[in-house]
Structure formats: C-alpha cells, structure tokens
Amino acid sequence: MFRSNVLVCGGTGCTSSNSELIIQRLKEEIKAKGLEKEVNVVRTGCFGLCALGPIMIVYPEGSFYSMVTPEDVPEIVEEHLLKGRIVKRLLYQETVQDDNTIKSLNHTPFYEKQKRVALRNCGVINPEKIEEYIAVDGYAALGKVLTEMTPQQVIDEITKSGLRGRGGAGFPTGRKWSFAAANHADQKYVCCNADEGDPGAFMDRSVLEGDPHAVLEAMAIAAYAIGATQGYIYVRAEYPIAVRRLQIAIDQAREYGLLGKNIFDTDFCFDIDLRLGAGAFVCGEETALMTSIEGKRGEPRCRPPFPAVKGLFGKPTILNNVETYANIAQIILNGADWFASMGTEKSKGTKVFALGGKIKHTGLVEVPMGTTLREIVEEIGGGVPNGRKFKAAQTGGPSGGCIPAEHLDIPIDYDNLLSIGSMMGSGGLIVMDDTTCMVDIAKFFLEFTVDESCGKCTPCRIGTKRLLELLNKITSGNGELEDIDKLEELCYYIKENALCGLGQTAPNPVLSTLHFFRDEYIAHVTEKRCPAGACKALTNYYIEPDKCKGCTLCARNCPVNAISGTVKQPHVIDTKKCIKCGACMEKCKFSAIVKR
C-alpha cells in the first residue's frame, strides 16, 4: 500500500502541455527523496477540466493542482509529498474554501452538476493496466451476461434502459441489436465507430484514452447478444494515444482470456481488431465506415438493406459509437431501471459534451439528459469570458445547428434540439459570443463539409459547393436579397436528396442561422455591413477621437503605415490602405479602436 497516490492526466490535451515530462520528473524526484515505496504515480485519462491542464491530483488529500509545469515538480515533491504541506499557489482555486481547507472536487461548480457514467473511470484509473479496470468491477458485466443471462435477456435489458445511440442519430440501441440478432447467418460482426470527426469534439477520444477496456467489454456483451464472433474498432489514425492504449487493452484482454476462445470457460468466442481510418469525415457514416474496413474507398451505400441485415462483408452487423458502448456494462451491472431513472422521458441516461469556443472552462462534461443549456454554459462552463455576451451555441458540429440566447433554458435532449433546428450529434458544444458572425459560422461549417464530401452523390458534391459560393458572395459584400432565398431553397433540396447523413445534414448550420439570425444575413446584403465585425470585406477599423491619447502605439505597429497623426493628438486610419489585420486594436491600451 502507498500512503500517497499522485494522479497525472495522460490525455492528449495535457500530454501536449508536457504531462509526460511531468510524470518523468515526478518519478525522478520521488526516487531522489527515497519515496518510491511510499508514493505511487498514476498516469490516467482526462479529468475533464481541460482549460486547467496539465492536471495533477494527490490522494488521500484530494489536492487538485492545475496548470502544473515540469518546473513545479520539485516543489510539489519536497513540500507536499515529503513534508505534507500542500502547495497552495498551484491549487485549483474553486477547491479552496474561505478557511483555507480543501473541498471535494464534486462540490465545485464544474463538477457538482455532472453525473459520470461513460466517463466514470477517466481520470481515476491507469488505462494501461487491466488490473485497475478489473478492480472497479471491470468485466463483471461480461461475466454476468455469459453465466446468468440469455442473449435475449441482454437485449431486453438494453432496450428497457432506453439507451439511444450517442453517435448523433439517437437510434434505440436495444432495437438495433434485436434486428441483428433476428438475422441468422454463419458470421456476424460488432463494430465500434471511433472515427470522431466533428470539429471541436473529443469525447470518444477521451474515453478510449482513459477507459479502453469499457469499450472492449461492451463490444463483447453486444457480440454475445447478437451471436457475433468478431469485432472491429474503426479509429482515426490522428488519435495515436488512443490507438496505442486500445492495442494494449486488446493484448491484455486476450492474455487474461477475456477476448478470444471460450471466454469465462463458456463456448462464447469473440475477438477484436483495430482498423485505422485516415480522418475522412464521411467515414463516420456507418456504411462508409464498413466499406473502409473492407479495404475500399470510404463511401456510403444505399439503404436498405441496413447493416443489421447486410453490413460488413455482407453479413449482419451492428455499429455503435464509443460513448454508447461506454454505458453498456453499467446498465448490465446496475440495471435498466437505474439508467432509465436519469434523463428525460424519451432521452434516458447522461450525455458527454466537449465544451469549447468562447467559454471559461473548456473541457469534457457529462450531465443527465434534460440539463439546460444555461446550466452547462453558465454554471458548469463558467460563462462567457472577458465580459462578452452569450450569442449562440453550436451543437452537433457540421451536422447540427446554432442555438440562440433565447433558447438558453431549453432542456437538452434529442427531441428538444431537433425541435429548434439543431441536433445532439456526437456531443460537440461550441459556445459563441457577440463578436461571432453567424453568417461566417455557417460558411465555416460549409467549408468543412464541402471538403469532406466523398463526392458520390450530386446533391452533396455540387449542392454544398453552390451553398458555399452563395455564402462567400454574401460575406464578401456582393450578395443580393434573392441570394438568401436561393440559400434556403437549395438547403431543403440537398436535405431531401443527398445519399447519406453527411449531405442530408450539411445544410443544418445554414438553415438554423437563417432562422434565428436572418437579420445578420440581411445586414450583409442590404447594408454591406457585418454586425459582429468579423467579415473582413465588410469591416473597417476606426479610431474614436475622444478616446485616442495620441500615444502612437497603433501607428508604430501598423505593418502598412495606414495610421497617421501626431503625438498626443487623435490619430486616423486610412481605410484604403488598411489590411484589417487588427494589430492596432490589439496594441491600443485605451480601447480607442473599433470595428464597424
């Protein structure tokens, strides 16, 4: 037994900020102080509060150190681990109470409204040690279904729980499994979609990095339920840490007899292999993903037949995403009623969101379905920084829509989001403030989908390009009122005629911004003005004479000498010379420069 356990985040975010070097320094300093038999260093997955990384938590005290650097390590070892004195300057301030005592993380604004199910082990265990997963009831659910339940009972339990697919469409998981189970074939497959491609989304990556065995166990349970013997995890190659930990987990599970032949001394045999994707967004669509696993170009197929009837290699196949699988073992162990007690009537359980954009606390949050957008943004996320106002939140990535401030109190679930023109998607949640141009946001997502379209069907291949051309025309100051009508008409045509989900949902960002922010489109067209000051072609920089002190700092930093004036006198910007780089506004100490 160790008297202290030091947990250090080993997720992608913290790793990019030198957490691996921090772990190395920790081990060196601990050894140098002769504490290696007393202090245990654990590399974990993501703790969730990515804005404060690299993160280190020392137990049993529960000291939450944030933004730790390798240079801080000697002080932490000397003061805290050797002398028992907490290094207060490195503490996450929300954990420090008025009397200078430390409160539990669960009672801080970021964590207290969360309910961790899919993320239950992330930041808690070492994902590279199967023993630690087993110590928190890992593989107990698989053992239960193989020794106590029939395949149909497993499907019934998942169906009763109300679990819906967390990959975006929200299809009932139990129903999908029952379709595949009902088809008799000599071979069936279980697939995992780990090709998370939405800009700003990193939920699945974090589960794979922090709790890979949860996915393997769930896939084995699914295989038992439908009668499959082989599974594939399709993960993008841009996730090197996730790929490495998945392979380690697969090797360990095989070694322990939890994958392969006669699992738990039964006649159930099941194995899993990895397949790496090249980062094509279209391969998030189930038939395109399966086509890619088969070694072909990742393009969608016409449906029906659906994968449960004819999927991978022409055999019955089920495909769920990482977060969906991360809930399975807990449903089996705790019961369907336990899971169904969380969430709303039609959207049970919890949902993981990747908070990003103009938000104080970027990171991962997991909340019960039905939690309001306001609670997520203002209470958990800490609100919009720098005194700016909340303008909108984008959910569902390129397939979703923008939720305006008037809907801040909407309970988030599948049906509520669809009712206002957005969608759950895989869980990306990008917050925007009043400096964001909604026309420009629509253009950003269209640029992404145009680039990611596989080109197989004309509505998506050509239609999205025409949409982007119209948006470029509007944001460059050359738009006409009839272009707005053309945008809307073309959006509906693409939605109704595109082959797969990528094309069918590509117009959503345009439609939602047209619905809630139509006045911005009209301002771009009729006034040749970007209300948010984000579109360069429609924006000019001006110096307000009553605020300018004549310090000359703006003129000295202008790369094209577009600013003139004398010392201690108001300066002027020549808008014809100005390249709109923003350097002057950034350097001005008196907020005298504005965009309009």
The CA-based dihedral angle spanning residues 527, 530, 533, 539, taken in that order and rounded to the nearest 10 degrees:
-60
Q: Are 216 and 191 within one domain?
A: yes
Segment 404-431 shows an average pLDDT of 91
Contact 27, 63 (CB under 8 A): no
Count, in order, helices (H) and strands (E) of the chain: 24, 17
Average pLDDT, rounded, for the chain: 94
CATH of the domain at 26: 3.40.30.10
Report yes or no on 534 lying in a domain: no
Q: Is residue 516 located within the same domain as residue 416?
A: no
Q: Is residue 116 part of a domain?
A: no
Q: Which two tokens stand for residue 139?
A: 């593989």
Task: For residue 119, tell me if it sits in a domain.
Answer: no
Residue 389: the pLDDT is 95
DSSP output for 258-310: SSBSSGGGSS--BEEEEEEE---GGGGSHHHHHHHHTTS------SSSPTTTS
Please check whether residues 178 and 296 belong to one and the same domain. yes
| 53 lies in the same domain as 76 | yes
Nearest alpha-carbon partner for 548 in 532, 563, 560: 563
CATH number at residue 139: 3.40.50.11540
Would you say residue 526 has pLDDT above 80? yes
**Which position has the token pair 């509505």?**
459
Residue 104 pLDDT greater than 90, yes or no:
no
Evaluate if residue 350 carries a pLDDT over 80: yes
First to last CA, the chain: 64
Domain count, the chain: 5
CATH code at position 565:
3.30.70.20
User: Could you tell me which residues come within 8 angstroms of residue 127 by beta carbon, excluding any fewer than 6 positions away?
Assistant: 10, 44, 45, 121, 133, 209, 210, 211, 212, 213, 245, 249
123 falls within a domain:
no
Supply the pLDDT for residue 494.
96
* pLDDT in the model for residue 201: 87
H helix runs in 136-285, sequence order: 140-148, 151-161, 173-182, 203-210, 212-226, 240-255
**Structure tokens that stand for 576 in this block:** 């014809």
Residue 583 C-beta-side C-alpha neighbours within 13 Å: 16
Do both 232 and 361 map to the same domain? no
263, pLDDT greater than 80: yes
Is 128 within 8 Å of 11 (Cβ atoms)? Answer: no
pLDDT band at residue 102 under the 50/70/90 scheme: confident
Do 68 and 197 share a structural domain?
A: no
Please provide residue 315's backbone torsions phi and psi, each rounded to the nearest 5 degrees. Answer: -110, 160
Of all residues in the chain, the percent with pLDDT exceeding 90 is 89
Both tokens of 465, joined, read: 């390009």
The fraction of the chain above a pLDDT of 70, given in percent, is 100
Q: For position 153, what pLDDT does the model report?
A: 98
pLDDT for the residue numbered 48: 94
Q: pLDDT at residue 144 above 90?
A: yes
112 secondary structure, DSSP code? T
Amino acid found at 319? L
pLDDT tens-digit profile of 43-99?
A: 999 999 999 999 999 999 999 999 999 999 999 999 999 999 999 999 998 988 877
Give the CATH number, domain containing residue 365.
3.10.20.600
Task: Judge whether 30 lies within some domain.
Answer: yes
What pLDDT sits at residue 433?
95
* Same domain, yes or no: 460 and 580: no
Residues near 482 by Cβ (< 8 Å), separated by ≥ 6? none
**Whole-number Å distance between alpha carbons of 291 and 313:** 8
Domain final residue, candidates 284, 319, 339: 339
Please report the pLDDT score of residue 499 as a whole number. 93
Q: Is 245 within a domain?
A: yes
Give the pLDDT score at 288: 95
pLDDT for 595:
84
Query: Taking the model in full, what pTM does it have?
Result: 0.93
Rounded CA-CA distance 251/132 in Å is 15
One domain, residues 442 and 426:
no
> Higher pLDDT residue, 103 or 484?
484
Residue after which a domain boundary falls, among 391, 414, 433: 433
Grade residue 497 by pLDDT with cuts at 50, 70 and 90.
very high
Q: Is the model's pLDDT at 115 over the cut of 90?
A: yes
Q: Write out pLDDT tens, residues 316-347.
A: 999 999 999 999 999 999 999 999 999 999 99
* Domain boundary pick from 383, 403, 433: 433
Q: State residue 482's pLDDT score.
A: 96
pLDDT band at 424 (very low <50, low <70, confident <90, very high): confident
Task: Report DSSP letters for 340-387, one per residue.
Answer: HTSB-SSSBSEEEEEEEES-SS-EEEEEETT-BHHIIIIIIS---STT
d(CA 38, CA 25): 17
- Domain membership of residue 506 (yes or no) is yes
Is the per-residue pLDDT at 423 higher than 90?
no
Question: pLDDT tens digits for 544-581?
Answer: 999 999 999 999 999 999 999 999 999 999 988 999 89
Closest CA to 45 of 243, 257, 211: 211
Contact 283, 298 (CB under 8 A): yes
Residues 144 and 265 in one domain: yes
Give pLDDT tens digits for 146-173. Answer: 999 999 999 999 999 999 999 877 899 9
Domain coverage including residue 136: 130-339
Q: What is the pLDDT of residues 209-239, one digit of tens each?
A: 999 999 999 999 999 999 999 999 999 999 9
Query: Residues 472, 358: one domain?
Result: no
Q: What tens digit of pLDDT does each residue of 171-215 get?
A: 999 999 999 999 999 999 999 999 988 888 899 999 999 999 999
Same domain, 168 and 310: yes
Q: What is the mean pLDDT of residues 483-509?
A: 95
Residue 125 lies in a domain: no
Cα atoms found within 13 Å of the Cα of residue 223, Cβ hemisphere only: 28
| pLDDT bracket for residue 138 (50, 70, 90) | very high
Do 390 and 476 belong to one domain? Answer: no
* Range list of H helices, 12-121: 12-15, 19-32, 73-75
Position 166 scores a pLDDT of 92
